[in-house]
Amino acid sequence: MNEGTEQVVVHGNCNGICVKRDQTLAKLLSSYENRGDELFVCVEDAAKQFWTVLPLSSSSSSSSTSKTTTTLILGDNSGFNDEEMKTLGHLQKVNFGPTSLLASSVVTLAHHYLDEVEMN
């Protein structure tokens, strides 16, 4: 991904895929962080799988009335370059299993899982 190109971000309150145009990755992240989103970056070599960091059952410490938007940041088929990884370095890194997946498959899995989380 190059700065200023489309960034594809999946999050729970846009009813689908949100595509942000003409924003740098840093600006995009800042806008989601300022909103209070729970941010994850999907990388193949992440130690944790998405569903282990976002369990189906809500923790007792979270309020049932306050909803946090879960935002998952995906790279293209080349992944993230070094500069992008520096920008994303503070985010929790997750994967969707040991097999390399197309972004469209990750979007499908993420939406399915987030629907399951919302129903529980």
Query: Does residue 44 come out as left (phi exceeding 0), alpha (psi in the -120 to 50 range) or beta?
Result: alpha
Q: 13-34, pLDDT tens digit by residue?
A: 555 556 666 678 888 888 888 8
Greatest CA separation for the chain: 41
| Residue 39 is assigned to a structural domain of this protein | yes
Which residue ranges of the chain lie beneath pLDDT 50?
Answer: 1-7, 11-12, 59-65
CATH number at residue 49: 3.40.1280.10
**Tally of domains in the chain:** 1
Residue 75 lies in a domain: yes
Q: pTM surpassing 0.85?
A: no
Residue 2 lies in a domain: no
pLDDT at 88: 93
| Structural domain includes residue 45 | yes
Domain of residue 33, residue span? 7-119
pLDDT at 25: 83
Tokens of 34: 């300022």
Decide if 106 contacts 70 (C-beta within 8 A): no
